[in-house]
Amino acid sequence: MRLTEEQLETFEKRGYLVLRKFAEPELCDTILDIAKAHLKHEVPPVETEMEYVGKSKEERKTISDGHAQEWEEHITVRRLRQVYHRDIVFRQWMESDKIRPILKQILKESPTITIAHHNSIMTKMPHTSTETYWHQDIRYWHFKSDNLVSVWLALDEENDANGVLEFIPGSHRMTFEADQFDEKEYFSDNHADNRTLIETKEQTVLQKGDVVFFHSKLLHRANKNKTQTAKISFVYTVHGKSNHPIARTRSSSFPEVNLD
């Protein structure tokens, strides 16, 4: 499958693009079943809610895969990490022939999967999960250029109640001052200029099988899950083959997968 010129232009201008019913429902169900088993048994490496919320700026920059479960008694898994190496079904989705030409169009060269970032099953658990504040994913990543794209697959419905993703369209092309971000590099919502920009936010209500491509500089956030059911999604990130991670950073800490 290839994007139309209009779809490509939408991605370039707005920094994100939704493709409805891109993945078969049967594939989503299979991924979900495997993910639920890994979540139930807390198969490492995982990131817990406490780790996600409590991590300092320095830890986010340097630590690859933490093991907070060693000291947390009752954990809430926020993400299953390193999904590429967990199961062939996960790997096949990330390498699928259907998605490669689209990634190549967006990146304008052959895509490479980074194993160091995202590469996750992302959850929002009922009751125990927290809101995700406005941020740019690139803030803790280190590559030659900021041109990376994440592929988010909804495994079930994602809506206002269970933690829908929200984006600020076009923010991937904007330049911000340091004081627009807080000490953890979240985009402050009590800064006057930020508040005006945040009013332009768009929600991406998703159904099972919908895919969102979004740029690593795009400002985004997600609600807390106010329902009784976990929201479980799949996310991984790619960059162009020539956009190498910077040596001796967290971004270069795992061998990558080129999709030539």
Ligand X SMILES: O=C(O)CCC(=O)C(=O)O
- Token representation of residue 93: 């989705």
217 contributes a contact to ligand X by CB under 6 A: no
- Name which of 139 and 241 has its Cβ closer to ligand X: 139
- Answer for which of 31, 122, 155, 230 binds ligand X (CB under 6 A) is 122
- b/e map of 119-134 (b: 16 or more CB within 10 Å)? bbbbbbbbebbbebbb
**Spatial distance between the Cα atoms of 79 and 159, rounded to a whole number of angstroms:** 19
Residue from the set 47, 49, 51, 137 that interacts with ligand X by CB under 6 A:
137
Residue 132 interacting with ligand X (CB under 6 A):
yes
Regarding 124 and contact with ligand X (CB under 6 A), the answer is yes
- Phi, psi for residue 214 in degrees, rounded to 5: -140, 145
Compare residues 104 and 181 and give the one whose CB is closer to ligand X. Answer: 181
Q: Name the residue nearer to ligand X (CB basis): 124 or 172.
A: 124
What torsion do the CA atoms of 243, 247, 248, 253 make, to the nearest 10 degrees?
50
163 binds ligand X (CB under 6 A): yes
Given the complex with ligand X, which of 104 and 237 has the nearer CB atom?
237
* Cα–Cα distance for residue pair 75/53, rounded to 1 Å: 13
Gap between the Cα atoms of 127 and 190, Å rounded:
26
Choice from 220, 230, 237, 256 touching ligand X (CB under 6 A): 220
Contact residues: ligand X, CB under 6 A: 122, 124, 132, 137, 163, 220, 222
